[in-house]
Amino acid sequence: MRHLHSPLLVLAGAGTGKTGVITHKIAALTSTAEDDAGSVFAVTFTNKAAREMRDRVARLVPGERRKTVHVSTFHSLGMRMLREDGTRLGFTRAFSIFDAEDCDTLLAQLAGELNLACSKPEVARWRISGWKNDLIAPGEARAGAADEEALVAAQLYGRYQSALAAYNAVDFDDLVLRPVELLREHPETLVKWRARVRHLLVDEYQDTNNAQYALVRELVGERGCLTVVGDDDQSIYAWRGARPENLQRLAGDFPNLEIIKLEQNYRSTGRILRAANTLIGNNPHLWEKSLWSAMGPGEKPRVLSCRDADDEAERVVAELMTHRFRHRTRHRDYAILYRGNHQSRGFERALRLHDIPYQVSGGTAFFERSEIKDVLAYLRLLVNPLDDAAFLRVCNTPRREIGPTSVERLGAFARERRLSLLHASVDPALSGALPGRAARNLADFGHWVTLLADNAERGDPLANVEQLLADSGYRDWVSDTSATPKAAETRLANVQELLEWLARLARDGEQRERSLAEMVAHITLLDRLDNQQDADGADAVQLMTLHAAKGLEFPYVFITGMEESLLPHHASDSEQAIVEERRLAYVGITRAQRELTFTLTRQRQRFGEWVRSTPSRFLDELPAEDLLWEGRETLSAEEQQARGKEHLAGLRALLSNS
């Protein structure tokens, strides 16, 4: 079927090849004379997904045309729009992107200024993020505040936005919200971008929030040259603003919307799919669909009942070892999935005990390491002298005898004169507000940063980064302040990796070299968008949450903790929440290609007390005839003996190789 130039919704079930739909449509659009490849834009949610899509496009689109197709995340597209046209909203091209820590610091400062009780700035940040995702302005947020906590966050919201604007900065949510404002408030900019985006393709549409929906709607306009691919059964991000009903809104906004269903699954066997279909059939649906597979029925999913969490971990690892010995598989063929990160500890202990390599998704992200945040804060300050959060992080890192009192007085001086902290530090009048030595230290720092910023803009930005590290003595400071020589070596290696990454970015497929501001903005986004650890590397068992597993697939999957209060989660106190938890279980089931095993415990320790576990209601919703419950299956004496021998042989083989 060929459908090119009117609105199209592709309902793509798990494992039905949705990414292939988008990439082949890009190839079709760019093969016709009437569509310039440079006017085709595709957006998704993570950098990993965008990279995969770009790689596939590169294999399908010939020659130079492949380089002009725009494949990015929502937030990267928004950043590009603000770089080009953000001056209409008061931003310079070198605006900064505040990370979560920067935002929390700013909110805490503002709460102090406004005398508001805000003991947990991160809670206010989440509230504000939700309002931005729903396009709710500060005034609306104040009017709709239902409790004291919401009222405090709403009072901070307006002041927070003003402060960000004063710092020439945005937060992560602004990268979608601000472009929507740009298109709605400036008709000439809207005309420009609609002319540029001749066809827009959106992946994982069920995960869009209201702001992302609005951005798509503004960009495509009445022409409606739009293709979206999604699956309401895999919408598992309501907690961060996703609105699966956005799929239904399309029909109202685009009356000529064409709907195509993809129901053949190319990933899993028949019994796994029947379990998934039966489970998700208990949810309400906008459109009915049923996955099917031509891969045969396959093995029945198993259910293992364990004594407690330690027994569960030991049983899973024993099953894995036996299976691996029996089938000569790789460690990376196995995934252990769970609802919450805390569940990983027992599995990690059991895997370490048997010297089995494993990889846990969701460890400390590279860009969250303190040494990386230090260097990036320096670079942010070089490209944006209004970035007060960056100034505060590095003005005394390494130590420059610029203490908290001096910084506080500098802040008061800057607010009084409406200057950034960097500009205030080099203002001659500062000497009248601070003691002589403190003023000189701040002035020396400010002049040094200003000189480096000027050199970076005029000359080689990477050479200036090296100069920054040398002048500041940062490497020596890292060595002196690390707990051990090994820790220092690791931290310095991280800094070197960042420099090498910057060098690659400077020349990464660009016809011109990227500016330092462009590189800093690009790296700032990486930490926020790469929320799934790449599982395609080492030969290791994969441990991850069900949320992190979305988009991945494994031959053999264990879904653990199939108990009430774990899956569904204990906070699921409404029918709507149960619906999403069921979708989460569905996502887990459809990660399995060949074999699927569920585990649960008879008792589990919670808050220091042993509590009897109740099997998850979702187990009762699976087709009973397709499940093999441990204790309900009948094995012959020969089969039991054979299984025991295989397990022992596997253990001996592993021990002999250790």
Rounded distance between C-alpha atoms, residue 215 and residue 71, angstroms:
16
* Site of tokens 């320096």: 378
Give me the chain's average pLDDT, please. 84
Catalytic status, residue 18: yes
Residues 440-451 pLDDT 10s: 999 999 999 999
47-68: average pLDDT:
77
534-552: average pLDDT:
80
Other CB atoms within a 10 A radius of the CB of residue 385 amount to: 24
CB 522 within 8 A of CB 367: no
Q: Which of 204, 207, 374, 527 is catalytic?
A: 204
Which percentage of the chain shows pLDDT scores above 70?
A: 88
Say what the pLDDT of residue 212 is. 93
| The token pair that represents 532 in the structure block | 């799934």
Residue 94: how many CA atoms within 13 Å on its side-chain side?
A: 16
φ, ψ of residue 185 to 5 degrees: the values are -95, -15
Residue 507 has pLDDT above 80, yes or no: no
Q: Which of 16, 18, 35, 227 is catalytic?
A: 18
Q: Taking the alpha carbons of 182, 184, 188, 193 in that order, is the dihedral positive or negative?
A: positive
117-144: average pLDDT:
90
Rounded distance between C-alpha atoms, residue 421 and residue 392, angstroms:
8
Residues 572-603 pLDDT 10s: 778 888 998 999 999 999 999 999 999 999 99
Residues 193-203 pLDDT 10s: 998 888 899 98
- Collapsing DSSP to helix, strand or coil, 41 comes out as strand
Say what the pLDDT of residue 33 is. 47
Rounded distance between C-alpha atoms, residue 360 and residue 263, angstroms:
32
205-233: average pLDDT:
88
Say what the pLDDT of residue 658 is. 46
Rounded distance between C-alpha atoms, residue 575 and residue 361, angstroms:
29
DSSP letters along 211-250, please?
HHHHHHHHHHTTT--EEEEE-GGG---GGGT--TTHHHHH
Q: Which of 25, 591, 594, 604 is catalytic?
A: 591
Query: pTM higher than 0.85 for the full model?
Result: no
- Collapsing DSSP to helix, strand or coil, 598 comes out as strand
Residue 178 has pLDDT above 90, yes or no: yes
Rounded distance between C-alpha atoms, residue 436 and residue 337, angstroms:
59
| The token pair that represents 636 in the structure block | 């012959």
Catalytic status, residue 261: no
Interacting residues of 124 by C-beta distance below 8 A, sequence separation 6+: 107, 111, 118, 152, 153, 156
273-288: average pLDDT:
89
33-53: average pLDDT:
76
262-290: average pLDDT:
89
- Collapsing DSSP to helix, strand or coil, 361 comes out as coil
CB 462 within 8 A of CB 499: yes
Q: Which of 234, 545, 560, 593 is catalytic?
A: 234
Residue 635 has pLDDT above 90, yes or no: no
Say what the pLDDT of residue 449 is. 93
CB 34 within 8 A of CB 4: no
Q: Which of 203, 312, 374, 527 is catalytic?
A: 203
35-57: average pLDDT:
80
Entry field: residues in the chain:
658
Find the range with the poorest average confidence among 275-279, 342-346, 533-537.
Answer: 533-537
Give the pairing of strands 609-612 and 603-606: antiparallel
Higher pLDDT: 122 or 508? It is: 122
Residue 634 has pLDDT above 50, yes or no: no
* Site of tokens 């988008």: 22
Say what the pLDDT of residue 654 is. 52
Catalytic status, residue 19: yes
| The token pair that represents 117 in the structure block | 């009780």
Residues 452-474 pLDDT 10s: 988 887 777 788 888 899 999 99
Catalytic status, residue 234: yes
Which percentage of the chain shows pLDDT scores above 90?
A: 36
Residue 536 has pLDDT above 60, yes or no: no
Residue 240 has pLDDT above 80, yes or no: no
Q: How confident is the model at residue 504 (pLDDT cuts 50, 70, 90)?
A: confident
* Site of tokens 């029947």: 274
Say what the pLDDT of residue 352 is. 84
Say what the pLDDT of residue 649 is. 58
User: CA angle, corner 76, sides to 72 and 79, nearest 5?
Assistant: 150
Residue 530 has pLDDT above 60, yes or no: no
Say what the pLDDT of residue 82 is. 93
Q: How confident is the model at residue 362 (pLDDT cuts 50, 70, 90)?
A: low
Residues 66-99 pLDDT 10s: 666 788 899 999 999 999 999 999 888 878 888 8
* Site of tokens 């106190």: 573
Residue 329 has pLDDT above 80, yes or no: yes
Residue 595: how many CA atoms within 13 Å on its side-chain side?
A: 17
Residue 506 has pLDDT above 80, yes or no: no
E strand or H helix that includes residue 629: strand 628-629
Say what the pLDDT of residue 534 is. 46
Say what the pLDDT of residue 355 is. 82
Distances (CA, A) of 203 to 10, 225, 230, 509: 10, 15, 7, 24
Residue 190 has pLDDT above 80, yes or no: yes
Spatial CA neighbour of 479 closest among 462, 491, 467, 465? 491
Catalytic status, residue 591: yes
Say what the pLDDT of residue 535 is. 43
Spatial CA neighbour of 561 closest among 353, 362, 337? 337
Catalytic status, residue 203: yes
Find the range with the poorest average confidence among 99-108, 371-380, 626-635.
Answer: 626-635
Say what the pLDDT of residue 137 is. 93
Count of H-run helices and E-run strands, the chain: 28, 17
Rounded distance between C-alpha atoms, residue 564 and residue 623, angstroms:
19
| The token pair that represents 299 in the structure block | 């093995």
